[in-house]
Structure 1
């Protein structure tokens, strides 16, 4: 049985910008042994690297003189919801914006954001605890590199082969409370991939990858604590996890976006919908499209009606027959309008996004439950209400496809040849095709959207 001990490193001084953490550790823990793993809280790494911001929006404190005291200390309170202390608001806001790559969720003043490192955490890792009043700490620029520097410094000064983990506090979805995880690592095997093995009963392990570095970070925090002033712990007894090389580091623990089933938070799920025009050859899971239909029919509609119908074209034959018939109808229309053959060919190529997609859906409007009035103005308004409701359903459909990891492009072409679409697909006469949706796995990441300022699109009265 492996015997593991976890002990805090006492006696370390307050860390300031420019300090050498390896030197401070060598003086505080000269009895380190080969195979030890040090868990170093990211706060002292951030301080040593000058990752400190004061109340002046985004200004750095470089360590000259005393830390600024522009604001009184933040009052004590429950920091669990945000996972952070409560720094001066202007400093906190500027620092979070500086560190945020994307906002995942927001509720009141609590922001869950992805950092440039790929971490998804409260306040983008900006922390106001264990730092001078009026200042906040940012995460280290490169936690893996920070861990490597500490490791090399200890080897040079003490001649020991150790592993180093830089840890920080994370909240967790679906669980109360905070725990420390590894945001950087050097000389430590971060993951233990057990896939392909079997458990004690012979059952195959198909998805078991153990986050060793996170487990060690959490164990180290038991010895460090949040209020004890002990920023480093030594874990002894896991020498088999210490490697000769720096290794893949903490970045190996960050799940790639295309493997993240929970990537989209409440703040960015709508923006996940993008128009995708090039698809890979991967097949589309029909069940995913059906889940998108379920989201579509959750849209609002007038008179408690259900005006949405979706025709799902899951076979190549069905898609080809529809697109060929639509192409012929479109060519006939363009010729009757006097377009040249060259211009017609160019316009027809715009429909390639539908032809190249591995899956098509045709949303249709039905007017079941609509009211008939005595004048055309009110009847026209009635139809407009149903068209708007169908559009809301299509938007839900597109957003859910994005949540499912699928790309899509809504193309309006069926609206120009509705009779042809109804005939080819064998639809009832009261089903009104409202475009077609190309569905598939994106062949490449979408391009950045052109910037839009919401203020350009509303007026107030």
Structure 2
């Protein structure tokens, strides 16, 4: 049997309070094997995570690591602690007017301190979960989840086992501490003034060491299929120049092409074509021919051999990438005018449309977890590229996209103020 009991009568928590001492003095029996679920708000208050003032927007910005999605005043953000939640966990409820509550700096550490304090005061070996309220994608309503834990097994991993029908379980990992946090909220409530609940009957989940805490539940970025939200997907595209030898899944590249060809184009045309270099011999032949063409051009322009060598190194990213794609511009459907100026503008329209397609392509590669670098190489030797790849004369190669798995995260991009690039008339 599982029993859940809220601890009533706790005083208003203020900075400097010892939550373990408050719980121990509440007059409620706490025994070995109990799990205490503590609302994060009182942890934040006790630890002084209270911000004076009513500028919630400023507090959200300070607590945000990245914005995942934004609609009006609603912000879904990844916090500095690694949680993705509304308003970066900043809360103006259940706190005095003119103050705002922030999440605990390290809720796992908070849970460890509360656990140790209860052991010292009561001699009871308990688990502690710090909980907070989360919304959920695709579902209305809120539920409590764990943001900190100590002494409780966080996950039950059933992978490798079989169900009663003999079917293998390949993906079943139960988030135990989230389930306990949600169940405990039924006894605490949002408005009852009961910030702590005791869950009894799950002693088999108690661990002697404090354990990994909530860290075990945070999904690594490279495993997260939904990492990029609507607000930060564009910023996910970064130029990557160093790739691991891990092969690139061609299906991912084809999905990126599907995104590319959804870009706008003039006259209802489709000016994009993509040449995918998946044959090693063709790839090597093209890069060697391009290198020879660049060398001849640079020598004709009077560059020294050392300068030529330095410039040719820029093409190393293409040789080191496990996959290459060449976007091409085609002018099918374009209009021809008697005025040469209009013909120039017509080509510029198609060039801009191709750029929009390439940008879509690069962004979707990032969504697929792939890095990329758009190198302008082929535009300097288009006849050579057409010859090696046997392309129609009407296809204009518009650079080469190096694609692969990044060896490391890209460096932080220096902030840019859009005002510096804006002119208002």
TM-score, structure 1 as length reference: 0.91
Deviations 1:13-44 (A, max 9, x none): 11111111001101114410100001100000
Q: Could you tell me which of 97, 110, 133 is aligned with 2:61?
A: 97
1:28 corresponds to: 26
1:44 corresponds to: 42
Question: What SS is found at the alignment partner of 1:396?
Answer: helix
Question: What SS is found at the alignment partner of 1:188?
Answer: coil
2:199 corresponds to: 235
- 1:179-218 to 2 correspondences below 5 Å: 179-218=143-182
Does 1:156 pair with 2:120? Answer: yes
What value does the CA root-mean-square deviation take over the aligned residues?
A: 0.8
2:226 corresponds to: 262
Does 1:369 pair with 2:333? Answer: yes
Q: Could you tell me which of 215, 237, 262 is aligned with 1:251?
A: 215
| Structure 1 unpaired stretches of 5+ | 56-87
- In the alignment, the residues of structure 1 paired with residue 188 and residue 112 of structure 2 have an alpha-carbon distance, to the nearest angstrom, of 21
How far apart are residue 237 of structure 1 and its match? 0.5
Does 1:123 pair with 2:121? Answer: no
How far apart are residue 198 of structure 1 and its match? 1.2
Question: What SS is found at the alignment partner of 1:197?
Answer: coil
1:379 corresponds to: 343
1:399 corresponds to: 363
- In the alignment, the residues of structure 2 paired with residue 9 and residue 413 of structure 1 have an alpha-carbon distance, to the nearest angstrom, of 69
1:133 corresponds to: 97
Does 1:329 pair with 2:276? Answer: no
1:9, 1:29 within 8 Å by CA — same for their partners in 2? no
Give the aligned length: 425
- In the alignment, the residues of structure 1 paired with residue 179 and residue 344 of structure 2 have an alpha-carbon distance, to the nearest angstrom, of 64
- In the alignment, the residues of structure 2 paired with residue 295 and residue 389 of structure 1 have an alpha-carbon distance, to the nearest angstrom, of 13
Question: What SS is found at the alignment partner of 2:318?
Answer: helix
- In the alignment, the residues of structure 2 paired with residue 25 and residue 5 of structure 1 have an alpha-carbon distance, to the nearest angstrom, of 18
Q: Could you tell me which of 244, 267, 279 is aligned with 2:243?
A: 279
1:74 corresponds to: none
1:351 corresponds to: 315
How far apart are residue 450 of structure 1 and its match? 2.2
1:30, 1:158 within 8 Å by CA — same for their partners in 2? no
- In the alignment, the residues of structure 1 paired with residue 270 and residue 27 of structure 2 have an alpha-carbon distance, to the nearest angstrom, of 70
Question: What SS is found at the alignment partner of 2:243?
Answer: coil
How far apart are residue 197 of structure 1 and its match? 1.1
1:364, 1:432 within 8 Å by CA — same for their partners in 2? yes
Deviations 1:157-186 (A, max 9, x none): 000000000000000111111000000000
2:6, 2:197 within 8 Å by CA — same for their partners in 1? yes
Question: What SS is found at the alignment partner of 2:78?
Answer: strand
- In the alignment, the residues of structure 1 paired with residue 93 and residue 45 of structure 2 have an alpha-carbon distance, to the nearest angstrom, of 12
Deviations 1:89-110 (A, max 9, x none): xx20121111111111110001
Deviations 1:68-87 (A, max 9, x none): xxxxxxxxxxxxxxxxxxxx
Question: What SS is found at the alignment partner of 2:25?
Answer: helix
2:7, 2:28 within 8 Å by CA — same for their partners in 1? no
Question: What SS is found at the alignment partner of 2:402?
Answer: strand
Question: What SS is found at the alignment partner of 2:352?
Answer: helix
- In the alignment, the residues of structure 2 paired with residue 34 and residue 317 of structure 1 have an alpha-carbon distance, to the nearest angstrom, of 68
How far apart are residue 343 of structure 1 and its match? 1.4
Deviations 1:413-432 (A, max 9, x none): 10011011011111111011
1:282, 1:440 within 8 Å by CA — same for their partners in 2? yes
Deviations 1:329-364 (A, max 9, x none): 111111111222221111111100001000000000
Q: Could you tell me which of 114, 134, 142 is aligned with 1:178?
A: 142
